[in-house]
Chains A and B, each alone.
Chain A
Amino acid sequence: MRTSAIDHQIMWNRLIAVVEEQATTLIRTAFSTSVREAGDLSAGLFDRQGRMIAQAVTGTPGHVNAMAESVTHFADRIGPQNTFEGDVFITNDPWLGTGHLHDITVVTPVFRKGSHIGYFACTAHVVDIGGRGFGPDGNEVFEEGLLIPITKFAERGTVQPLLIELIRANVRTPDQTVGDMYSLAACNEAGDRRLQAMMDEFDIDDLDALSDFVIETSRKATLEAIAKVPSGEYRQTMQVDGYDAPVHMEVTLTIDGDQLTADFDGTSGMSRFGVNCPEVYTRAYACYALKCAIAREVPNNTGSLEPFRITAPDGCILAAKRPAPVSVRHVMGHLVPDVVLGALHQALPNTVPAEGASALWNIQIAARASDPASGLPNREVLMFNSGGTGARPALDGLSATAFPSGVSTMSVEATEHVGPITVWRKDLREGSGGAGALRGGLGQTIEIEPRKGYDFYFNAMFDRVENPARGRDGGLPGGPGAVELVGGTKLKSKGRQLIRSGQRLRLSLPGGGGYGDPLARDRAAVARDIAAGFITAEQAKTDYGFEG
């Protein structure tokens, strides 16, 4: 049988199906809420040089190329002479994996007829990794949990018992954490079975020609797409709240023909708290944003990712150095696309959205009996919540929708069964969308009260309270966020705080920025927004000049 160009395409499609199946297996078996609800995982196939050939499209872009880089580290560290059939490698090193200790990366070498031909890799966020738990309060990575260096989870099919014991002894949820590691290994195995079946069908024994075809086709398409962007140097800055001090983000985007670089020189230094991003995570979000705007059709692989060359100076908050704390690196990471797209806007007007709420307003609640003697059990509740996205050049922003993350929220009814809280409100926040010819997406309002007999602690990790999402081309900023008690007492937007029995916490999530002059907004659209209560009559008048 001859292998034709059509066959390469079919195999490419098949590889994407294989990695999607690998990811699906993981989503259905993982324990961690963020894997299940947020698709906080990644799965991919690599050739023997460590180049990524195919990657599943999952919920969080944070792994877009973080995992792509990690396989090379495994290959270098372990070396071909020590790579055997039946091996499974593992790490959660934030700088060699995907940015924080909660993400476990598992790499399984693929063998065919005795030869090493490639790797399957996958990453997932586990429920617990010891240390302080998932939160920004550590001052060094050592406080944030157990770090597993690149090592073998299994060698020639035998799992290392000491490693398992060590992990079990260091985490709060040994069954779930170790169980998830087995899930990761099993999903690579599932990928391997499908790949071998495909190679049988097409009668090939290595991936080299296929890998070259996929990577070169993708690289060519990506370079062609970049070349369509006008050459030049585009600079953008943005200030966000940060943890205890404002963070200044700065990026210089340089496009020269089909060459693209984005450099974060000028960005603030590291924080003492766990909001720092290892560079690999910054690269992931920056690359995601650029790819959405420039070459969204090209599937993720080494060929489509490498042309986006993204760097940040060592030691800035977007390229944190060991042993910086990095546990909640997602807060800064989620804001990276706004600054990058702001730079790209100068090159490609009418293409990218205005700034949005961007960073998720996830809330981790620890409910505790008001009277310890009552014997009421402790309960933990995690909720994912999103503000509004920025208006687009031809479309309003999306209300209460995650971007750049792909998180889903959970049912309030289900949440109230998990923990002793009452969510009195979770609805759209009227008037919070930035005014513009196209309106920013609305944020949302959430009110939570501890149930009878309970108080709760919550970990505030909320941005865009001091620095709202800015509009574009004359669009106004979205409504800033607010953290308070119902009744008006202002609370801090960062750090652990207590809500007592009888009090209600109110979170007002930020809206997205507007796009274009509000006076140019279609009058019928303004009237519709008033009827729906998305904006008030007052706003219609002052922001939109609408007299009805």
Chain B
Amino acid sequence: MHENAIRVGVDIGGTFTDIALQHPGGLSTCKVLTNYSQPEQAILDGVAQAADRAGIGLGDIGQVIHGTTLVTNALIERRGAKTAFITTEGFRDVIEMRSENRFEQYDLNLNLPVPLVPREHRFTLNERMGPNGEVLLAQDAAELATIVERVREGGFEAVAVGLMHAYANDAHEVAVGEALRAALPDLSISLSSVISPQMRELPRFNTVIANAYVQPQVADYLGRLVARLRDTGVMAPVFMLHSGGGLIAVETAAEQPVRLLESGPAGGAIFAADFARAHGLDKVLSFDMGGTTAKICLIEDGAPKTANTFEVARTYRFKKGSGMTVSTPVVEMVEIGAGGGSIASIDSMGRLQVGPRSAASEPGPACYGRGGAEPTVTDANLLLGRLDPDNFAGGSIKLHPENAAQAADKLNLTAHDAAFGITELVDENMANAARVHTVENGRDIEHFTMIAFGGGAPLHACRLCEKLGISALIIPPGAGVGSAIGFLKAPFSFEATRGLFQRLDAFNADTVNAALAEMEAEARAFVAKGAPEAETRLQLTAQMRYSGQGWEIPVSLPHKVFAAEDVAMIQSAFEEAYRTLFGRIIEGLPMEITNWQVSVSTILPEAARVARHGSGTDAAVARNRNFFDAALRQDVEAREVNRADMTPGLAVDGPAIIVETETSTVVTSGYRAVAQGDGSMLLLAKKGAL
């Protein structure tokens, strides 16, 4: 891709479809309502609007980059294909038995998530691989033929195949796939050895089933999208943002849609990562807060932190363990049930609680005057003077403080105490989640810079920084369509994974080199589909642990042909990673490798560095208005400035409120905001404020 190409990013979310069009004249963005029955229609409308605004023809667009929550929604709403699962005899119920635990310790009336494929649609074969890929029980062709017949009779649209230890030897799965394809050429077939060839049957089976379940629908949708874009004159190739934060060809996405589960939110993390690089920040915490949820992600050395498993479709909102663990490369994000619409209530002990229940956009917070009667975070912000009732969303929505006060009355506190309690508790919940996440990753949050975006974040970010001891905060421009902009900043990338279990003291370099070479070829082939000429880089990760431990930590290793004597190097890389996470190593224990990951990605163009304006000169104050400063526990007189007037180098001392059409940035008494060259606001803690 060359720098001047016209590219468009398209993010289909639950409520809005966001468009960001990058063209020689700059960036043109727009938001249209998501169309559930024909999602591609909203894209066509939005792209046409944005192109019109930018004054370019649809035929001039060079690339379409798309991300969406549609795949996740199909899983959550159970709108997938009629799917069968074929597995090893004795393991029919892996996906139903899960981890055999309860995610809510004190709830006697717990409901466990219902498996995607009901038991009567799960078929078994008498066959068995051993852990090292050795055949313990050979397949029986006649039995396989019977199963194929049952799939035909059952009228299934999709089949997932997950056999024990298939990551170590895929021969049986391949045979099942061939038999199905030969008999039922139109059937969608997903093999676990292709979709997620990693050790551990539960996540591997979940992953291949999720893939099969959404595949026909996603393939159908993407096919329609490409065709209709062509019809309207957009001849550009379409690429998809995958959950790991990179781009893949639309054909790859149609085959492996499970890679798209987190593609929308990943865009937000890439958006923040782009600002991190431009501002030369190597330790960043991104904070994205909308109407219902807040998301937190660690961004180090300009790249969002990734993981190889995550939980999708949680049945108890945000409760760890209540969803389905799938193993696919993903930008690691913590999601909290905290947003502008989060509802406050009083529990049995008379304690104030906020969220995770949300008033969402309908009816919305009480102060919208659209029938919402329960007090929300937005109502509290209004009561505390952080929102201006006459200038919300650029004045398009009139807020009603009297409704907010009436709703707050339900909490049996004074309106002021209720409002303070609600905002402080929601900030506390987010701060606690951020703190735990950084501790889990062995990091010290005080050394991070926060980058905050999404409608709600600028109101809360500064207080959050006070609670976390963070002294620098960036609020980028264009934060309302952050994910779509993020899509434009993503590299082409593909991560191949492989389960290959070895004790380090029995490290077999030849086996490892052979597997890595295959994985590299696989990853390169996928990247070449999108960017055949581009310069790439390869990242090699081994999942390692001390023998006897139950989970692995990712260890970055140099990309090379391994020899027996590299064991010492691998060991010290593991020990360094272990020490970073846990503060110490354990001498004398054997180590082992379980899974390998090879990630190939194109190299991003060097970000143009934004020169930092440090202290700045004071901006003109539009007027003064009061808001409640939580750290001081008192009302303060704040300077109100328009964000549009904050040209680079201008600054304002907190307490201040910087207003713009989409949101307002609250600068607490302890911070000073300085406008930067790229339109970002940089908030710095005043000396001694933290």
Contacts and interface: CB of A to CB of B under 8 A. Distances in A.
The answer to whether A and B belong to the same complex is yes
B78 interface: no
B572 interface: no
Contacts of B349: 217-218, 220-221, 297-298
Nearest to B201: A413
B100 A10 contact: no
B201 A412 contact: yes
Contacts of A201: 467
23 contacts: A4-B417, A5-B417, A9-B352, A17-B432, A17-B435, A31-B546, A291-B106, A399-B97, A400-B100, A401-B101, A409-B97, A409-B99, A411-B200, A412-B164, A413-B165, A418-B548, A422-B128, A425-B90, A425-B91, A444-B93, A447-B90, A531-B120, A532-B118
A21 interface: yes
B396 interface: no
Contact of B100 (A186, A293, A392, A408): A408
Interface hub of B106, B428, B586 (most chain A Cβ within 10 A): B106
B102 A401 contact: yes
A57 B102 contact: no
Interface string B589-629: 10000100000000000000000000000000000000000
B102 A403 contact: yes
B131 interface: yes
Contact of B130 (A176, A386, A422, A532): A422
A532 B432 contact: no
A385 interface: yes
Interface string A365-384: 00000000000000000001
A257 interface: no
A36 interface: yes
Interface in A146-183: 175-176, 179, 182
A534 B97 CA distance: 13
A6 B436 contact: no
A416 B90 CA distance: 15
A221 B349 CA distance: 6
Nearest to B350: A217
Interface string A16-38: 01001100110011010100110
**What 7 pairs across the A-B complex have the smallest Cβ distances?**
A425-B90, A17-B432, A532-B119, A408-B99, A296-B106, A409-B100, A411-B200
Given A292-B108, A297-B348, A352-B108, A6 B97 contact: no
B348 A444 contact: no
Contacts of B425: 9-10, 13
A407 B96 contact: no
A398 B102 contact: yes
Contacts of B582: 28-29
A118 to B, nearest CB: 20
Given A410-B550, A425-B89, 20 more contacts: A9-B351, A14-B432, A31-B548, A31-B586, A59-B101, A127-B548, A190-B439, A217-B349, A217-B351, A298-B348, A351-B108, A386-B100, A392-B109, A395-B111, A403-B102, A409-B97, A413-B201, A414-B594, A532-B118, A532-B119
Contacts of A293: 108
Interface of B: 89-94, 96-97, 99-102, 105-112, 118-120, 128, 130-131, 136, 164-165, 199-202, 347-352, 413, 417, 420-421, 424-425, 428-429, 432, 435-436, 439-440, 467, 469, 501, 546, 548-551, 581-584, 586-589, 594, 632-633
A284 to B, nearest CB: 13
Nearest to A35: B550
Contact of A10 (B120, B201, B424, B588): B424
Contact of A406 (B94, B105, B348, B429): B105
Interface string A230-272: 0000000000000000000000000000000000000000000
B165 to A, nearest CB: 6
A333 to B, nearest CB: 16
B108 A426 contact: no
Contacts of A425: 89-91
Contacts of B583: 29, 186
A12 B351 CA distance: 10
B585 to A, nearest CB: 10
A202 to B, nearest CB: 10
Given A296-B107, A400-B100, A428-B93, A414 B199 contact: yes
Contacts of B164: 412-413
A144 to B, nearest CB: 22
Interface of A: 1-2, 4-6, 9-10, 12-14, 17, 20-21, 24-25, 28-29, 31, 33, 36-37, 57, 59, 61, 127, 175-176, 179, 182, 186, 190, 194, 197, 201, 217-218, 220-221, 225, 291-293, 296-298, 351-353, 384-386, 392, 394-395, 398-403, 406-414, 416-418, 422-428, 444, 447, 451, 531-534
Contacts of B128: 422, 424
Contacts of A6: 352, 413, 417, 420-421, 424
B91 A427 contact: yes
B332 to A, nearest CB: 15
A351 B109 CA distance: 9
Given A4-B417, A395-B111, A402-B100, A20 B93 contact: no
A407 B548 CA distance: 18
A299 to B, nearest CB: 9
A57 B501 contact: no
Given A175-B586, A221-B349, A36 B550 contact: yes
Nearest to A218: B349
Nearest to B551: A36
B90 A427 contact: yes
A477 to B, nearest CB: 20
B337 to A, nearest CB: 14
Given A13-B432, A532-B120, A533-B119, A444 B440 contact: no
Nearest to B124: A427
Given A427-B92, A532-B120, A221 B436 contact: no
B589 to A, nearest CB: 6
Contacts of B586: 31, 175-176, 179
Contact of A401 (B112, B136, B589): B112
Contacts of A447: 90
A35 to B, nearest CB: 10
Contacts of A422: 128, 130, 136
B420 A21 contact: no
A533 B121 CA distance: 11
B131 A413 contact: yes
A126 B101 CA distance: 21
Contacts of B94: 426-427
Contact of A182 (B106, B165, B584): B584
Nearest to B440: A24
Contacts of A411: 199-202
A197 to B, nearest CB: 8
B200 to A, nearest CB: 4
Given A386-B100, A532-B119, A24 B436 contact: yes
Contacts of A291: 106
A21 to B, nearest CB: 6
Contacts of B589: 175-176
A395 B109 contact: yes
A28 B440 contact: yes
A428 B112 CA distance: 15
Nearest to A387: B100
A425 B93 CA distance: 10
A20 B436 contact: yes
Contacts of A353: 108
Contacts of A351: 108
A408 B320 CA distance: 13
Interface hub of A36, A182, A414, A534 (most chain B Cβ within 10 A): A414
B96 A399 contact: yes
A31 B112 contact: no
Contacts of B105: 57, 59, 61, 406
A440 to B, nearest CB: 14
B479 to A, nearest CB: 28
